[in-house]
Amino acid sequence: MGSSCPLRPASGRAALPGGGLALSGGVAVEHATRADLLGQQRPELAARIATEGQGAALLAARGPDGHWGRGFYAPKWTCSHYTLLELRALRLPPTNPAARLTVALILQREVGRDGGLNPSRTVPFSDVCVAGMALRYAAWFGGDPSALAGLTDWRYAAELLG
């Protein structure tokens, strides 16, 4: 009987489309491919995400103020928020000091009066989507547990009262 997953045949060995091209797509792609498709945990690959390829390029663009772009949410696609989201997607190790410091800065400085994350200084209400995305990377990079709990509580309350 065959497997229901086309990448994991009955033999239990993964058959990668394209003869394993996913293993040559950069260190982050190789790490994800080995972990998700082949079931191989390779910590040495994860560690290289910070020093090679897209992960290294993103980390190198971080400013001396601890942020990417001009801060938490400006300019939109190169700011700290979206860069941290990308670094999380690349599986930068959660112990990375630069990412952890920026997460701490965000959780300390960007919480709005209502308890959520507010990317705008002119709008009185925080953004539910931004908060949800931030929780994804902040939890991964070891954000302060009490700050994460507060943001999570705000996020759920905002959704329920919505």
The DSSP annotation for 36-94 comes to HTS----HHHHHHTTTSHHHHHHHHT--TTS-STTSSSSSGGGSHHHHHHHHHHTT--T
Neighbours of 6 (CB within 10 A): 9
The percent of residues in the chain predicted with pLDDT above 70, rounded, is 86
Q: How far apart are CA 70 and CA 61, in angstroms?
A: 11
pLDDT of residue 23: 73
pLDDT of residue 21: 64
The pLDDT confidence band at residue 83, using thresholds 50, 70 and 90, is very high
- How confident is the model over 5-31, as a mean pLDDT? 64
What pTM was estimated for this model as a whole?
A: 0.85
pLDDT of residue 100: 98
- How confident is the model over 86-108, as a mean pLDDT? 97
Is pLDDT above 80 for 47? yes
Compute the Cα dihedral for 68, 71, 75, 80 and give only its sign.
positive
Greater confidence (11 vs 117) lies with 117
Greater confidence (121 vs 34) lies with 34
- How confident is the model over 124-130, as a mean pLDDT? 93
Q: How far apart are CA 107 and CA 151, in angstroms?
A: 9
Is pLDDT above 70 for 26? yes
